[in-house]
A and B are shown apart, each in its own frame.
With several copies, the nearest count.
Chain A
C-alpha cells in the first residue's frame, strides 16, 4: 500500500535501472553526465529560474511534430515569429501509451514520407542525443508536455536530455487521459518521476514540475481543479521537487477565472512546503472551440484579457485553428501574438473587478472542503486519501473518462456564466456551499424558463463553440430535445 513518502535512494536506482531497460535509448542515461550537461546550459535555458523571475506572464504554446529537424524548425518559428517566452515539446500518443515500438514505426514512416504520422514528438525514440540537439538549437527553455500515465522512461530520457520542465501528474494525467490505469498505479509511477526530478534538484538542477490543471478542459469547477493541483504539488514536494507550477484552465467568466487563479496561488503557497517555489499557469480555454478562426481569436483574446488581470506566471496559448486540428505553425504563432497584444495593452491598466474577493472566498472554502475530505479519507496521508476519495466519489472530475473516477459530478453555468455544480453525486461539500450553487443555478433556470437538466449541461458544453458563454435555449430543439 503506497503512501506519501519519499522513495529511498536505492529504490530510486533500482526502478531507474529497470525502466531504462524498456527501450534501447534508456541505456544511454548517465545521471552524473546529465548533471554536467545541465550545468553547461546558459541561464536563459534554466526553466525554473526564467519562469520564477519573470515580471509579467510568460507565453508558451503547444507544439510537437515527429521529426527532430521539423521540431527544431517549428520551435524556432514559435520563438522568433510567435515571440514565445517558453517552448513546449508535445509528445505523441503512442509514447503516452508506452508503445515505443509503434512510435518508432510512426517516426520511421514520418522520416520516409515527410508526413506527420504521429501527433507529437516521440522523445524516447529520439533519445538523449535527439533531445539535446533540440535543447541546444533553441534559445528559450523547453518543457515536456504529454498526457502519459506512466511517464517514467520519458522523464528519465528527457531529464537527461536537458529538458528542465515536465508537465503532468498522477491524477491530472490519469483521470482525463486514460480509462484503465488505476490511481494507485499512476501515483506510484509519478512518485518515481517526481523523485527523479528531486534527485536533479538536489544537485542544483531544479526541474520544474507542472501538474495539468485543466483536467478534462470542459467546465471543470475551479475548486476541483485546485484541490487536485495541491495534491499533486504535495506529492511532488515530498519527492524533493522545489519548483512547482500549478495549472488552471480558463472557464470564460472573468471574475471566476481571476478569483480561481488568485486562490490557486494562495492555497498553493499555503498547502505546499515553504521550500517549494509555487508559480501558476493559466491555460486559455481548453474546451470545444468555435469552428471559425475569427471567433476563435475572440476566445483567445478573452483569455489574454483574463491573464492581464490575474497575472499568472505563465499562459499557455491556443491557436485560432484549435477546432480544426493540429495548427499550422503560423496559426500557432498567431495565437501567441494575439494573446501578447491583449496582455500588453491591458496589463498596465488598473482593472479591479467587483466580486472577485467573494468568488475567491467561495473557491477557497470549496477547495478546503475537498482537501479536508482527502486528508480524512487517508487518515492524514494524501496518497491514500486521494485514492479513497476518488473511490468514494467524494473527489470527482466532470466528464472523466477514467474508471478511477466516478465522473458523476456535472457542472453547469449560472446566470452570470460562472461554472457551478449541478449534479453533486457523492462529491464532498458543505451544505451551505451546495445551497449557494443551487440558488445560482435555479436563478438561471428561472431566467431561461426551463428545468435544470442534462440538456443545460450539454448546451453549456457547446456554448463557446457556438459563440456564447452560456448555453441558453435557442428556441429550436437542441440536444436532448426529446426528454
Chain B
C-alpha cells in the first residue's frame, strides 16, 4: 500500500553511547509500513549525526530513542545543535528515559524543557508514535485510517 506520507521523511536513531537497537528496529519497521520515509541512523548516534541527517534528508521529524538511562546527559544542548544546523523539524524522544524507578510526569517535564515536542515512555506502542506524527505533520485522517484499518 502506497500512501501520500511517502514524502514525509523522519530521522530515527539511538543517542549517546546507548546500543539498545531492538526498539528502533521495531519502530523503523512500523513507520515504514505506515508510509513514512525512515532514515535509521542506528545506535550510538551523536547529536551532530542527527543534525546532519536531518539536514541531508530534509526530515520533518527527528525521533530520538534512549533506553540505557543516560538520556538526560546525552540530550543536553541537542536542540541548540539542531538550531545551529537550521533543522526545523518536530523532535520526539522515547524509550526508558530516567535512571531508576522514576515518576514519568517528572521525566516528561525534564525533556520538554530540553526542547522536545513530545516525550514517550517505554510502554509506547509504535502506533501511538505514528498517530502523533500524523497529527503533527498533518497527514490527512483518511490516510491514517487506511493505515490502521488494514489488519
Determine whether A and B are in direct contact in the complex, meaning some CB atoms lie less than 8 angstroms apart: yes
Q: Report the minimal beta-carbon distance from B143 to chain A, rounded to whole angstroms.
A: 11
Q: Mark B9-28, 1 if CB is under 8 A from A, else 0.
A: 00000101111111001100
Question: Could you show 23 A-B contacts with beta carbons less than 8 Å apart?
Answer: A93-B16, A178-B17, A216-B21, A218-B22, A323-B122, A325-B102, A326-B69, A326-B101, A399-B22, A399-B25, A400-B21, A401-B14, A401-B20, A401-B21, A401-B42, A401-B43, A458-B29, A479-B33, A480-B29, A480-B33, A481-B33, A482-B35, A482-B146
Is A116 touching B99 in the complex (CB atoms < 8 A)?
Answer: yes
Is A178 touching B44 in the complex (CB atoms < 8 A)?
Answer: yes
- The answer to the question of A179 belonging to the interface, with a C-beta cut-off of 8 Å to chain B, is yes
In the complex, what residues of B have CB within 8 A of residue A177's CB?
Answer: 19
- C-alpha spacing A127/B13, complex, angstroms: 34
Q: Mark B109-149, 1 if CB is under 8 A from A, else 0.
A: 00000000000001101110000000000000000001111
A-B contact count (CB 8 A): 103
Q: Tell me the chain A residues, 120-142 only, with Cβ under 8 Å from chain B.
A: none
**Which has the most chain A C-beta neighbours within 10 Å: B19, B68, B150?**
B19
Is A479 touching B100 in the complex (CB atoms < 8 A)?
Answer: no
Q: A180-B44, A325-B98, A325-B100 are in contact. List 16 more A-B contacts (CB 8 A).
A: A93-B16, A117-B99, A216-B21, A216-B22, A291-B123, A325-B96, A326-B69, A326-B99, A331-B101, A401-B21, A458-B26, A458-B29, A479-B29, A479-B30, A479-B127, A480-B33
Q: Which of B30, B70, B101 contacts A321 (CB 8 A)?
A: B101
Is A479 touching B126 in the complex (CB atoms < 8 A)?
Answer: yes
In the complex, what residues of B have CB within 8 A of residue A119's CB?
Answer: 68-70, 99
- The answer to the question of A375 belonging to the interface, with a C-beta cut-off of 8 Å to chain B, is no
Q: Which of A218, A323, A481 contacts B150 (CB 8 A)?
A: A481
Chain B interfacial positions (CB closer than 8 Å to A): 1, 14, 16-22, 25-26, 29-30, 33-35, 42-44, 68-70, 73, 96, 98-102, 122-123, 125-127, 146-151
Number of residues of chain A lying within 8 A (CB) of chain B? 42
- The answer to the question of A328 belonging to the interface, with a C-beta cut-off of 8 Å to chain B, is yes
For the residues of B in contact with A, the DSSP-based class is: loop
| A482 with B96, Cβ < 8 A, contacts A216-B21, A454-B29 known | no
In the complex, what residues of A have CB within 8 A of residue B96's CB?
Answer: 324-325
Is B100 touching A326 in the complex (CB atoms < 8 A)?
Answer: yes
For the residues of A in contact with B, the DSSP-based class is: loop
Is B21 touching A399 in the complex (CB atoms < 8 A)?
Answer: yes
Q: Which of A321, A325, A481 contacts B151 (CB 8 A)?
A: A481
Q: Mark A171-197, 1 if CB is under 8 A from B, else 0.
A: 000001111100000000000000000
In the complex, what residues of B have CB within 8 A of residue A14's CB?
Answer: none
Is A179 touching B42 in the complex (CB atoms < 8 A)?
Answer: yes
- The answer to the question of A475 belonging to the interface, with a C-beta cut-off of 8 Å to chain B, is yes
Closest 8 CB pairs of A and B: A477-B151, A401-B21, A401-B43, A119-B69, A482-B33, A179-B44, A483-B33, A480-B33
Is A481 touching B148 in the complex (CB atoms < 8 A)?
Answer: yes
Is A116 touching B100 in the complex (CB atoms < 8 A)?
Answer: yes
- The answer to the question of A476 belonging to the interface, with a C-beta cut-off of 8 Å to chain B, is yes
| A96 with B21, Cβ < 8 A, contacts A454-B29, A458-B29, A479-B26 known | no
- C-alpha spacing A327/B96, complex, angstroms: 13
| A325 with B101, Cβ < 8 A, contacts A401-B43, A482-B150 known | yes
- The answer to the question of A467 belonging to the interface, with a C-beta cut-off of 8 Å to chain B, is no
